[in-house]
Structures are given as structure tokens and as C-alpha cells.
Structure 1
């Protein structure tokens, strides 16, 4: 009972802290809400792994191969890639391969964030994270986060790409061992160019996860490379 009271207090503090830190000039929406006509755009694709302390670290600041891969799918949707700005849209993709159970996941063991220095000037705590999946809350209400460190979305691949985004609430009992695994995470952002006076910035955000990738020590990016490509393509095809 005391543990549940403590968890409730931590959630309340996190919610209050999150509200206090919100940027009043930033409007964050789901990528599925984007309904504007295609246009020209700039594109960056960055890849990440976890370091020895479980924090995300940048592997490539602009992966040229994945950039060409994403551009092909965006071209099919009517978008025109520009080598540099200004452009109508700025598109970013941030791809992670990791054993998310080994990540340093924050106060409630639910938050896996991008390193601010890797994102640069446009970094925002309201945008730049892979976990939790749900963009409007801290996680699943009623979940005992202290006992479910592995509260991430895990989807089993079965020969066809699975679009199921429901979280796995099973987890493992405290102290139990699960087989090692690697998993891919995708964050896609689309920022329209400013239109009109004022400081307001609007950003559309989409998040995806692969099924379990082959288990390798430290989960090098190549382990999830093919699965991350499929997930990135799915984000573009279904949300743009």
C-alpha cells in the first residue's frame, strides 16, 4: 500500500513538473493529425545506441543511406527533397537500437530520451523522446512502474510487419530473468516553416517500435537496421 501511495505521489510530482516546463509557444501534435499538402523539405536522419550507463548516444549525425531510403518514400507521397533550407517543412528521423531494459529510463522507469546535444537548438522535452509511446501522458494508469522496469512496447515479428502499438503489460516478476533482446525505436518529427508573426512553433510527432531484433551484446545499430527501415517506411506511408 505504501508503495502505491509513493508511486502516486511521484506521478503527481512528475505531472506538475511537466506542466511547469511546458513551452507556451510550442504546439505538439501527432503526426497522424498532419493534413497539409506536400511540399519541399529538408531531411536529417540520426542513429543512436545506448552507452555503458544506459543513456542514448549519437552514432551518426546524418546517416546518408537511411536518408536516401526515407527520401524515396517521401517522394512517393509528393514531397521534394532540398539539400538545404529554407523549405516548407523540416523532417527529422531519430532511430535507436537498444535493449531498452538496460536504458537509464528516468524517475518512473518509463522515459527514454534523446541526448539534447545531438538534437541541437530545436530540442524540447515535449518532443524528443522514444518512450513513453503515448504522447499525451506519462504511461499506463495503474501500472506499477517500480516493479515493471520493462514497461516498453514489444512486438513479435511474424513474417509480416506488425502495426500493433499496444504496450506489453506482462513484464517479468521482480528478480526474474528474461532472454536478452534488442529492439528498434523510431521518432519522426515534421516542422512546418513559420507562417506569420509570433514565436509559436508547431511540430508534428510520430513514434514507432520494431519487434524484437536478434540478440547481440550492446545491441549495435546494425542489429535492428532492417527492422528500423521497415518501421520508418511505415511511419511515412501511414502518417504523411
Structure 2
């Protein structure tokens, strides 16, 4: 049974990914920072349907805390599937953006990617099989007004995806990014009304977390062994 870690696993997209990977036969570590109760509830739901999962909590921006939480998990066997889904947004037009808004968003997406991924790399490399999937955003490709910090964070994640994929390709490890558009989650609830979505999205609807999870599950599978270094959009035709 392969072990998978999904950061930000208690949120809308993260929870759907956790359920799908567990249904595909993985033992899933459902990560949360503040949403520990939601993560545990998700774990119990996965176990109730015959899946294997456990909750894990740490702040992805705290490298020491990340290492303390992850190193015991890979003593006997590597985590071979990593989904870097943790991310936040703190929107403001750039002239009025506070330094803490810039740094917090960058810290979670970019430094969080390093803090979580780097300790898992050598065990994954030694196993000669791995899947790293970074959850990006349409904002990291096209930009978005009021989200210069978020766009910068996700754009950096896209670039890191391409570079890391080249370093580990010969070891049987793929590294890809998935860039969702408007997806039905608590994060987008109240931000986009149905009329706005119909104007913005050629498919005239928001995406579903399960649709993102299906793409992630494919990239995590053996069938996707020749796909690496890609930023794959899932946005209903917006780009």
C-alpha cells in the first residue's frame, strides 16, 4: 500500500483528493494546521468506507515542526505520493497591500512547498517511484486583479514544479502542477455569483472538487508515468 500525504487535506479540494486517493488504495495522511477536527472527521469517514487514513497536524511554514512530524512517518517506508495543496489567499490591490499579506501568502505556498517536499525526497528517490502534485491556480498562469501575492506564489510553484521534475525524472518520480479555475468550495462561496460564473467560464458552471481530485488521482497513478513537468489547467475552458 502506497503512502500519500495531502497538505491542506481538510479543505474542499484537499478532502476530495484524500477521499479519492484512499479509494484508490493509498494510506492517506490528511494534513491540517488549524482544521484538525475537520481532518479527523474526514479520516473517520474514509475509514468507515473501508479506506486507510490518519490525521496529521503541523504548520507548513515552520520547517522544524514539519520535519518533526514527517520524519517518523518515513522511517520504515517512504511517502511516495505528495500533494502540496496547502495554500491561503489574502487579497488586496497591490498599492494597498500590507507586507504581512504578501509574506503570509508566499510563505504558505512557496516555503511550505520546500519545507514539506524536501525531507521526503531522498526516501522517495531511493524507492525509485514517486508522484509529487502541486496544487496551483489559474491566477498563477493568467494573474488576477487583487491577487498579486497569490499569483506570485502560485507562479513560483509552477516554476519549481518544472525545475524539480527535471532533477528527479531519471528516478521514476514525476512532478506536476494542477491549476484549478473556479471550483465549488468554501473558499469561493460568496465570491462568484452564478451570473458571474456564466460570464467567466465557457462551460457556464464552476468545477467540482471531485473533478480536480480525479485529475490528481490520474497523475498519481502508474498510468501517468510519462507525464512530468507540466502545469495542467482544469478551469472549464477559461484559458
Pick the TM interval, shorter chain. Answer: under 0.3
| TM-score, L = length of structure 1 | 0.28
Considering fraction of residues, name the structure with more helix: 2
Larger radius of gyration: 1
Answer 1 or 2: higher relative contact order, Cα 8 Å, separation at least 6: 1
